[in-house]
Structures are given as structure tokens and as C-alpha cells.
Copies of this chain bind each other. A is one copy, B any other.
Amino acid sequence: MNHEIHLVERPKAKPTHEHLKIVEKDRPQPDQGEVLVKLLYASVDPYMRGRMSAAKSYIAPFELNAPMEGGVVGEVVESKADTLREGDIITGMLPWKEYTAAKADTLRKIDTSLGPITTSLGILGMPGLTAYFGLIDIGQPKKGETLVVSGAAGAVGSTVAQIGKISGCHVVGIAGSDEKLAYLKNELNVDEVINYKTENVSSQLEKACPNGIDIYFDNVGGNISDAVYPLLNKFARIAQCGAIASYNVPNDQGPRMQMHLIKSSALIKGFTVGDYQDRFHEGFTHLAQWLQEGKLTYEETITEGFENIPDAFFGLFEGTNIGKQLVKIAEPTHN
């Protein structure tokens, strides 16, 4: 048998167990050119919330009564393709099924010498590339500038904060627990940290950013961004990566911010990592080098068990994770 996690109802606000269901199906057989993949790790990411809605976006909505899908690490347990063999560890976008038959050419074999296989879902995967391109291409960090990062202890934010330090910025991280703040301060050497759940973000930002804000890497939107906009310096840049504060709030309202942009001649650019597909090699090269040099570090929060994928996903909206939130489904057979 094969367990799958299906979207059975589209959430209007927070996603819950009402919306996802574990279903039993037959284990698939690979066709010619395909491999059978055993799921080892599944990534859960805030952007998936968008695909649960039917609205038009940069990526198609998930289908109802079909599996959710996301970045995974898996092991090839049967191959009918020339390019992959049994025992290969791969990464790709696959449905949430314990076993999946997938075309070999949609998967990438992981070079396990570069680091633990889970890094291909984190620092050496989409979150790492998202951090790199958003900060470098949109943020254009210069030495001595002030960079504010919201969602700073997450997979993307924690990488942004570190690349900000590498770029010589004064880095201010905003996160939602003292444990996260300690991680940012002590492990990542972030200059100033703010707990948005217990502190007044506006006044703490003013203290933490005596020279104003030049770059804002925004993962969250909502009240936190409202507090950032008035402090923008002339020609500030905002990389709009996410808006998790709005994902579960239908018709979320807030102060209009156009006047702040005019006053500071500031720029906001929305983006997704796919916009930079042609430059992934550049991103991987820098990330891998910094990792090797010890300039970049990363944290993972790992939940165990296929059946716990939904809870790990829901937890993203409660801010329970530090660094990359993963779910471990199985050990590699050939380990």
C-alpha cells in the first residue's frame, strides 16, 4: 500500500486537518523512462498555502482530491531510465506520496559529497537560492547599509541575514520567540534582533536602525512591514519574498503604503525563485562556497513521519520552526 496526502477542501483562512486527508492507494509502477522514488524527506513551505487556493497565481493551484506536492528528497528504488539507478538519492518536486513513479528527467541526482542530503531542500536548494537572489539582485546590499529581515529565523530569512553580514550590512532580524532571537544573535551574529510578539516593533526598529533602513527583505508583510515603511531611507529597496501574515487572512487590510514609497523614492519588487532560473548556477556556486568557507550556517527543524507532514506544514503559520522545516519519512535503504 501507498499513503498519499490529498487536498480535500480549499481553506479560506488557516489550513487545518479539515483540508488535508491521508489516503491509501496502490503503489505505482514506473513506466519506461521513469523511476520509482521512495520519499525520504519532504519540505513544507509557506508558499504552498497559495496553491491551496483556486486563485490565479505564478504557479497553478493544487487540484482537489489529489496529492499536495512540494520539494522532496527521495531514493530511487527501481529504475526504468538510463540516467538514474537504484540507490541514487534525488531531489525534485513530487507529490506527497510514500512512493512515486516519476520521469527521471524531472529529478536531479544529489551530489552527496557537498553536504547532508537535506541541504538540497534548504541552504543548497530553493530557500537558499531565494535568499541569495532576493537579497543580491533586488536588495543590492552595500557595505555599511542597514538591512532588516522579517521571518529572520526561517530557512530563507536566516540565509538572508547571513548574506547580509557577508555583504557588510548592519543586519536587524525580526522573529517571534526568544529562542529564535538567541539563534540569530549567537549563531548568525545578527547585529540587532526584535521579538515581534513581545516587543513594540516600531520603536525597537527605530532604536535598531539609527541610520534608517536601506534594504528590507520581507517574508511576512502585515503589521511588521507597516512598521518598516516609515523608516525607509532614500532609494531603499524591498525584496518582497513572502507575506505569510496575509496568507490566512481573507481581504487583509492595513495602512496604505504608497506615500512611503514616494517619500523615499523606494522600490518594492515581488519575486519568486523561478524568476532567476537562468542564474541558479551562480547562486549555487556562491552558496556552496560560503558554506565551505564557514561563512554560512543553517538550522533544520525535522518532524518525523509521513503522517505528520500536515502538522509540520500547519506549524509554519504558528512560527514553530527554526531554519528549514522538514519532515523525515524514511532512511535511505542503501545508507
Contacts and interface: CB of A to CB of B under 8 A. Distances in A.
A275 B246 CA distance: 33
Contacts of A56: 263
A24 to B, nearest CB: 35
Contacts of A198: none
Contact of A268 (B241, B242, B253, B268): B268
Contact of A241 (B58, B262, B266): B262
A259 interface: yes
Nearest to A272: B265
A271 B262 contact: yes
Interface string A254-283: 111011111111111111100100000000
Contact of A256 (B234, B241, B254): B254
A57 interface: yes
B256 A261 contact: no
Interface string A267-302: 111111001000000000000000000000000000
Contacts of A268: 258, 261, 267-269
Given A251-B255, A255-B251, A258-B240, A263 B221 contact: no
Query: 6 nearest interchain CB pairs?
Result: A261-B270, A243-B258, A262-B270, A221-B258, A57-B263, A267-B269
